[in-house]
Structure 1
């Protein structure tokens, strides 16, 4: 996944995306969080899309960026 991310921290960003998705899967199927388990899968995708997009697109450099 990191090869598709245009950023110096592509590997870290890919790991953060993976961790977020693993968390959703665990919450839905293992922990069975009420609202997450009851939600339509497409709705979950729709909610996650902006988060994943923000993690996988290039950000303009900032003074805080290390």
Structure 2
């Protein structure tokens, strides 16, 4: 499927604690219950406000939308 390359706004918050997975017909929508998210943790990190950031898994492809 792919990797969700983000975390909560602090490293103490596990992705498991903030991710929400919703099935919509033939796709999966991954949303995040956090006001801010850390993109690319451990790499070229970027703290961003969560304005409907999500991943969509459809037709065998995982896409990141910000």
Q: Please, what TM-score do these two structures have when normalized by structure 1?
A: 0.25
Identify, as 1 or 2, the structure richer in strand: 2
Question: Which entry has the higher C-alpha Rg, 1 or 2?
Answer: 1
